[in-house]
Amino acid sequence: MGKNIKLSIATILLSILLLTSSNAKLNIKIIISVGDEIITNYDLDKEINYLNVITVGQIKKLDDQESKKIAIDSLIKDKIKITALSKHNNIIINDELLNNQIIKSSQNIGFRNIEDFMTFLKFQEYELDEFKKKILLELKWNQLVYQFYKDQIVINKEKVDKKLKISIAEQKKNMEYLVYEIFIEDAAIKELNKKSEEILTEHNIVNEGQDGIIIETESASYNNKKNLIDSEKSIEEVIDVKIKDQITIDDLIKNIKEKGFENTAIKFSSSPSAQQGGKLGWVSESNFSQLLLKSIKKTKIGSITEPIPISGGILIIKVENKRVVENKIDLEKKMEELIDIEKNKQLNNFSTNYFNQVKNNIKIKYFND
């Protein structure tokens, strides 16, 4: 065993020497040994680059000492896993699983597709092959843990059934509202009555960065970001805009009472839904912003909401009806998901325990500069 260690170290040192001679500017030093494995300052730099990739630049915001410490801890963990895996050469990861995990990892980081991720890697000067090595190590480690502990996984059927019932209760029922809208642009409002001014002052200006009044429906005019007001515009400026011409809010409400909501929408609404009398149809409550949903919930069926100041104008919603929709749930698939979650939870615990066992049997030595 001692001869093998010496041979390994000699081989590594020779490689480092050759690499150093080919590039005088590169001064590689061994900074840590983890059992038979070594970590160099070159490895440390690469690890910082890797961490910068998976955190999308967040690691750069830390000071040098903190980022180095995180990178060293990460490298030590990798070397411990490599040591454990060196005794189990029967673990094979196929290319399809590896590639799928690379795509999944890139999506978890925040990239829509692998092409965007590869462009990002190139910008960060980090090789895709290096990223693959990281993913491959984790896949092998997970497979090793699974081989060791798969027979110790215990699924509590009663516990899973309870979680399934809770999940079904949460997903089964969904409220939908049959709604109509009238959207009056700022320029079409002659003046604000006192009540509308109070509402505007209370809710402030809704912009893209706030909770939003957005409703996910194709015909809703306020689903268009061009209607959003600059968040820096003051309430006074917004009110000043509302002194143009055409109709007051009071006259609008009066017209709704006398002529009907649909006729008023056709005549005055700025929304594309105006041609349909403002009809938006059945809309799930999950598609309303919290602010708009709050107003709709307190409005009786067949009634209209108070005028709601939103970016670009005033919105009035008629709540024509509501209904509870039963969502179809694939019970078998949902059960499998909950079982997988429980399995992974137990495997993560096994993984931590096994890692600590391996670590306790490995000598870690730090070298001074």
* First CA to last CA distance, the chain: 28
Decide if 343 contacts 303 (C-beta within 8 A).
Answer: no
Helices (H), the chain: 2-22, 41-54, 64-85, 95-109, 114-123, 128-149, 157-172, 194-203, 235-241, 249-259, 261-268, 290-297, 331-360
Q: pTM score > 0.75 for this model?
A: no
| pLDDT tens track for 213-263 | 445 454 555 444 333 333 333 434 433 433 334 678 888 999 999 989 998
CATH number at 2-152+342-366: 1.10.4030.10
Residue-level pLDDT at 189: 62
| pLDDT tens track for 113-171 | 899 999 999 988 889 999 999 999 999 999 999 999 999 999 998 989 988 888 777 66
| pLDDT tens track for 34-82 | 999 999 999 999 999 999 898 888 888 888 998 999 999 999 999 999 9
| pLDDT tens track for 41-53 | 999 999 999 998 9
What residues have CB less than 8 Å from 113, skipping those under 6 apart? 106
Rounded distance between C-alpha atoms, residue 64 and residue 72, angstroms: 12
Domain with CATH 1.10.4030.10 in the chain: 2-152+342-366
Structural fold of domain 173-326 = Chitinase A; domain 3 (3.10.50)
CB burial of residue 306 (10 Å; 0-12, 13-18, 19+): middle
| pLDDT tens track for 284-299 | 887 888 888 999 999 9
Chain-wide mean pLDDT for the chain?
Answer: 79
Domain with CATH 3.10.50.40 in the chain: 173-326
